[in-house]
């Protein structure tokens, strides 16, 4: 997939499941469960042990999935993720060096931002998306709207505390997508290997996107 195709796919799906678990086995289980539930996309955070090896494994085993790397904090990690085959790279904050590297490599760049100045810097650097993080803790939907007004052409991703009750509101307010963590991938579901639970949650999020974008 090209960078443009990946960007379009992220916007189409509207949900980015963030996989932040304790073991590579847990991460593989979570990724496959959300995909079966209708979300063939994951952000595998670098806090997962052997994350880059697992990314390479997922890319090979599930070529239809959009595999991204999350919590990328330095250029060395970004390079390792690129070598593993990721389609997008995201960070909790704004590191322009990582953004420039990602853009030049032809991979979707999704840096974390919080202030208007950071939005301006990220957009100027060529970021495909700007991730407001942590969003719900610092104004939620109202803050997204406040940023969207002066930056109508920026593609915002809301992440941090977003859940089933609020995801639709973020999308309706203009978010291109939302990042979802434990509300989609509950630790208890991972521990007990309840794939059906995660699949059902994924289906609910898919339905939320449909309801917002194609109201009856």
Q: Is residue 216 part of a domain?
A: no
Token pair 């420039």 is found at 100
Please state, rounded to an integer, the average pLDDT across all residues of the chain: 97
Q: Is residue 127 part of a domain?
A: yes
Number of domains in the chain: 1
Give yes or no for residue 214 having a pLDDT over 90.
Answer: no
Q: Is residue 129 part of a domain?
A: yes
Q: Model-level pTM?
A: 0.97
Q: Is residue 7 part of a domain?
A: yes
Q: Is residue 107 part of a domain?
A: yes
The DSSP-derived string for 55-123 is HHHHHHH-TTSEEEEES--SHHHHHHHHHHT-SEEE-SS--HHHHHHHHHTT-EEE-EE-SHHHHHHHH
Q: Is residue 38 part of a domain?
A: yes
Tens of pLDDT, residues 97-108: 999 999 999 999
Tens of pLDDT, residues 53-83: 999 999 999 999 999 999 999 999 999 999 9
CB 158, CB 132: distance < 8 Å: yes
Q: Is residue 205 part of a domain?
A: yes
Q: Which pLDDT band, with edges at 50, 70 and 90, does 84 fall under?
A: very high
The pLDDT assigned to 216 comes to: 57
Over residues 7-21, mean pLDDT: 98
- Domain with residue 32: its CATH number is 3.20.20.70
Over residues 40-47, mean pLDDT: 98
- Supply the range of the domain harboring residue 162: 3-209
Q: Is residue 105 part of a domain?
A: yes
Angle at 185 between CA 45 and CA 50, to 5 degrees: 30
Give the number of other Cβ atoms within 10 Å of residue 34's Cβ.
Answer: 28
Work out the angle between the directed axes of helices 75-84 and 51-61 (0-180°, nearest 10).
Answer: 30
């Amino acid at each position: 997939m090209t960078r443009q195709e990946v960007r379009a796919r992220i916007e189409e799906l509207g949900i980015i499941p963030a996989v932040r678990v304790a073991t590579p086995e847990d991460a593989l289980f979570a990724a496959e469960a959300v995909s079966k539930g209708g979300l063939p996309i994951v952000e595998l955070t670098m806090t997962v042990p052997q994350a880059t090896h697992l990314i390479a494994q997922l890319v090979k085993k599930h070529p239809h999935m959009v595999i991204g790397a999350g919590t990328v904090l330095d250029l060395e990690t970004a390079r390792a993720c690129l070598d593993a085959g990721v389609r997008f790279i995201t960070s909790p904050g704004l590191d322009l060096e990582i953004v420039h590297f990602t853009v030049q490599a032809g991979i979707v760049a999704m840096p974390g931002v919080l202030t208007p100045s950071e939005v301006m810097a990220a957009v100027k650097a060529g970021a495909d998306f700007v991730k407001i993080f942590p969003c719900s803790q610092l104004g939620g939907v109202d803050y997204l709207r406040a940023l969207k007004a002066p930056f109508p052409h920026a593609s915002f991703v809301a992440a941090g505390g977003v859940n089933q009750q609020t995801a639709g509101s973020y999308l309706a307010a203009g978010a291109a997508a939302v990042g979802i963590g434990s509300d989609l991938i509950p630790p208890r579901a991972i521990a007990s290997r309840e794939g059906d639970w995660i699949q059902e949650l994924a289906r609910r999020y898919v339905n939320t996107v449909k309801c917002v974008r194609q109201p009856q």
